[in-house]
Amino acid sequence: MHSDLAPFAEGVQGHVRLWANTHAIHSYLPNDLAAFLARHPQVSVNLEEHTSSDILAGVARGDAEIGIVAGYDDYQEVDLLPYRADRLVLITAPAHPLAQQHSLSFAQVISEPFVMLHAGSAIHTFTMNTASSLGTHLNVRVQVNSFEAVCRMVAAAVGIGLVPREAVKLSRRQPLSIIEVEDSWAQRDLKICTRRKTPLSPFAQALIDHLLAE
């Protein structure tokens, strides 16, 4: 109880429940949330990582006020607003045999050893399901806890990776080759979702306005 009430003693007046997928949490949200919280010190944000499908269902149930998802254009129980445009790309070490390829389909690299985020992360679930839809399993050599760690492992020639392009930009110190993914699902634009026909709290609306402005 003391832990729950402590923020209010320090001046917190509002609370926003935000669910987001791995992509958003590891790329855009840290800076965007930092700027929002600096402008709104009276607000706290409870951020949880989930897969996009779970986020949509959670927002529709009212478990979260705001969600950030990828790969969905419509879902009848929520409203969707564009947040960020991004795309999944393959990354390899510069000396890798595939490094000079401009583009490849996921099926062409599915037998390669992969470096991936940890099991349970949204992008891990998505990638494993995509491999399963092709009737096979990925050869996951290493699992790590951040996109930066994926980039470092790939740069060290441990395996190849499938990451958002923005994650590569944030790891500019790593020598990497980028290969476009030909599959249509590689376009992973992020969208903000809210429960349809349900008024938002002023703090949740302020957060959405900030994210859209960013």
Instruction: State mean pLDDT over 73-102.
Output: 93
- The answer on pLDDT for 122 being more than 90 is no
User: What SS3 state is found at 137?
Assistant: coil
Name the least confident of 4-8, 42-46, 108-112, 114-118: 4-8
Residues making up the chain, counted from first to last: 214
- The answer on pLDDT for 109 being more than 80 is yes
Could you report the per-residue pLDDT of 172-191, keeping only the tens digit for each?
Answer: 677 999 999 999 999 989 99
Please report the pLDDT score of residue 3 as a whole number: 53
**Nearest CA among 26, 65, 37 for reference residue 201:** 65
Give the span between the Cα atoms of 76 and 57, in whole angstroms: 11
Please report the pLDDT score of residue 133 as a whole number: 94
User: What SS3 state is found at 176?
Assistant: coil
Give the span between the Cα atoms of 66 and 211, in whole angstroms: 11
Q: Which two tokens stand for residue 176?
A: 């990497």
Q: What percent of the chain has pLDDT over 70?
A: 94
Name the least confident of 3-7, 80-84, 91-95, 207-211: 3-7
